[in-house]
Amino acid sequence: MVESSGKMKSSSHPTLFDAIHLGAWDLPHRILMAPLTRCRASEGHVPNDLNAEYYAQRASAGLIISEATSVSPQGYGYPSTPGIHTNAQVEGWKKVTKAVHDLGGKIVLQLWHVGRISHPSFQPNGGQPVAPSAIAPRGQIFTGTALVPYTVPRALETSEIPGIIAEYVDGAKRARAAGFDGVEIHNANGYLLDQFLRDGTNHRTDGYGGSLAGRARLTLEVTEAVVGVWGADRVGIRFSPSGVFNDMRDSNPLETFTYVLKALSPLGLAYAHVTQVTAQDLAHGAVAGVGPKELRPAFKGAVVSAGGFTQETGNRALAEGWADAIAFGVPFLANPDLPERFRRNAPLNVPDEATFYAPGAKGYTDYPRLAD
């Protein structure tokens, strides 16, 4: 068993129902809620009362990791996703954090910038999306009205990168003002920081590309800057080392992610959130063998894992020692009282995939609880 300090404890194998000291937080159990994009923010990318109800229903999670939330007007690539760069957004998020805290829950905000996974229709003044290099992802994007091919992004100038870091800092400060318990940096799933880290999307020749140290530089600088706002014990970071979502690839992911996790270890972060390869990833060309199990030795702190876990496989990961807590996504989406269902070995609601990103309460706040 590994606590967030990285020190081993001599005890029996932990289970999902055992308490854990994770960073600054004493959590009653290890069943976390994974970040889930739901596309239900109001105009101006402002969280609303329905969002507050949704998160409050799931306040029994050991820790809620919010849906991905843009730190910048440039950082959007999906309709009706929330932001954290305006005062109105802060006020909207205050409703969410109060609703969760009133029920005894804890919630962190996931800081996000989509980079090239966008379209001029999402960008200020119709500009090009930004990325480490001018490489368009394969596939199509939904603009809110139609599916269209991705466009070639604009490679960020070296002089622009301090501004990107400043946007993460501003988002972190606004998350504090909104009442969150901490933040998670989204460095996964093919978005901007992940694009800089991997050699399939980063072909730069300046100090933010080329060598592995160059490609990892933005991740490290953003993390250090956000730690300067929150303190390390209230900051987590998410990686998807085997993920191929959003046309991602890397020539040596084991080397890449081992490097960045070792480089982050001295900071003393609350946790590293490392996803395991899923069947969907494998079907789209991912290679098994680079995930939390293989990367666990590289990070001297707590590891949270996600990616298709069940109660049984989550307990197995804890028992084998390569994860300290498990983040559940779709099961929490469809089961607001997931921890209680696990405790009772009760049946789980079937998720309605047609409503995952649809507007309104259906498939969002209307899933029944056991008490119902």
Residue spans of the domains in the chain: they are 20-355
Q: Which residues contact 359 (CB under 8 A, 6 or more apart)?
A: 39, 40, 80
- The token duo for 225 is 């800057």
Helix (H, G, I), strand (E, B) or coil at 221: helix
Q: Which residues contact 306 (CB under 8 A, 6 or more apart)?
A: 34, 273, 275, 276, 326, 327, 328, 329
Helix axes 161-177, 212-230, angle to 10 degrees: 30
Question: In the structure, what pLDDT confidence band is assigned to residue 144 with cuts at 50, 70 and 90?
Answer: confident
- Measured over the CA atoms of residue 316, residue 25, residue 260 and residue 277, the dihedral's sign is positive
- The token duo for 162 is 């301090």
Backbone angles phi, psi at 5, to 5 degrees: -75, -15
Question: In the structure, what pLDDT confidence band is assigned to residue 1 with cuts at 50, 70 and 90?
Answer: very low
Quick one: how far is CA 34 from the chain centroid? 7
Over residues 259-266, the mean pLDDT reads: 98
Measured CA to CA, the distance from residue 277 to residue 287 in angstroms comes to 8
Measured CA to CA, the distance from residue 229 to residue 136 in angstroms comes to 33
In CATH, the architecture of 20-355 is Alpha-Beta Barrel (3.20)
Residues identified as active-site: 191
Asked whether residue 11 carries a pLDDT value surpassing 70, the answer given is: no
Average pLDDT value over all residues in the chain: 95
Its pTM surpasses 0.75: yes
Residue 74 near residue 42, CB atoms below 8 Å: no
pLDDT-above-70 percentage for the chain: 97
Question: In the structure, what pLDDT confidence band is assigned to residue 244 with cuts at 50, 70 and 90?
Answer: confident
- The token duo for 103 is 């029920």
Over residues 246-258, the mean pLDDT reads: 95
Lowest pLDDT segment from 61-75, 176-190, 281-295, 318-332 = 281-295
CA angle 77, 254, 182 (to 5 degrees): 50
Asked whether residue 8 carries a pLDDT value surpassing 60, the answer given is: no
Question: How big is the chain, counted in residues?
Answer: 372
Question: In the structure, what pLDDT confidence band is assigned to residue 372 with cuts at 50, 70 and 90?
Answer: confident
Helix (H, G, I), strand (E, B) or coil at 177: helix
Asked whether residue 7 carries a pLDDT value surpassing 90, the answer given is: no
Question: In the structure, what pLDDT confidence band is assigned to residue 275 with cuts at 50, 70 and 90?
Answer: very high
- The token duo for 319 is 């028992």
pLDDT tens, position by position, 99-138: 999 999 999 999 999 999 999 999 999 999 999 999 999 9
N-to-C CA span, the chain? 36
